[in-house]
Amino acid sequence: MATSSHLLPPQALHMIRSQPSKKLGFSPFLSCAPSMNPILSISRLSLSHSVSKSSFSLDTKARREVLVRAEDNPEAVDANTATEDNVVEADEAKAPRKPRVKLGDVMGILNQKAIEVSEKVRPVPEIRTGDIVEIKLEVPENRRRLSIYKGIVMSRQNAGIHTTIRIRRIIAGIGVEIVFPLYSPNIKEIKVVSHRKVRRARLYYLRDKLPRLSTFK
């Protein structure tokens, strides 16, 4: 787990239980690493874990089946693979087929899984453009206490796990805009303080308006 941890987004680490078997890295890893090319990740893992040739080839063939299995019963995967070894998993892959996941849906499913994982740790409230929001952020450079960012949500870009919101505020006389990924583990708390009625999805006009409109105490 430690060897592949640098490849994984932090959310994915939640999914991977501390299993001793090398195989286990695969199924939960595949199901929650949305940004990784599955083929590339498999090859990396195989090198780092020095998985035997037979199991490697098996997995590239059974990649889709593995994904299908993971999608249907994520908890069962972890429980099963605790006691399984390579041979048993080979049998499961050839077992009665579940509806095949189409290649086009893969990213959507991966993103959903990653979002679920992140939601378990910290639920994200409903945030829309025009909300005045307060975010408590843990900055690795400033380990002492949480930084607080307050401001109006200028835009929300939906991109699965990398859904971001853009916060604008006048700080010390200068307008500052910060883009936060909503599901980042660094964000410790998001709170909607109030709401301003806006008739746009993106409030870029605020940049040209008076600073008074972007000031929030």
Partner 1 sequence: MAAALASRLTKGRSLLGGLTNAFSGLVSSSSGSILSQQQRTFIQMGTRLKVVDNSGAKEVMCIQSLRGKKGARLGDIVICSVKESATKVDVKKGKDAIQKGKVKKGSVVYGVVVRAAMQKGRVDGSQVRFDDNAVVILGIKEKKTDEKGKEKKQNYKGGFNQPLGTRVFGPVPHEMRLKKQLKILSLAQHLV
The footprint of partner 1 on residues 169-188 (CB under 8 A) is 171-181, 184, 186
By beta-carbon proximity to partner 1, the closer residue of 80 and 163 is: 163
By beta-carbon proximity to partner 1, the closer residue of 86 and 181 is: 181
Cβ atoms of 132 and 151 closer than 8 Å: yes
At its nearest, how many Å lie between partner 1 and the CB of residue 181? 4
CA 29 – CA 37 distance, rounded (Å): 11
At its nearest, how many Å lie between partner 1 and the CB of residue 199? 11
Residues 6+ apart with CB under 8 A from 167: 133, 135, 149, 150, 151, 152, 153, 154, 177, 178, 179, 180
Q: How far is CA 168 from the centre of its chain?
A: 24
**Burial class of 91 by CB neighbour count within 10 A (0 to 12, 13 to 18, 19+):** exposed
By beta-carbon proximity to partner 1, the closer residue of 11 and 41 is: 11
Binding status of residue 196 toward partner 1 by CB under 8 A: no
CA 112 – CA 183 distance, rounded (Å): 12
Instruction: Show the binding pattern over residues 118-157: x = contacts partner 1 (CB under 8 A), - = does not.
Output: ---------------------xxxx----x----------
Question: Which stretches of the chain bind partner 1, using CB under 8 A?
Answer: 139-142, 147, 162, 164, 171-181, 184, 186, 200, 202, 204-205, 207-208
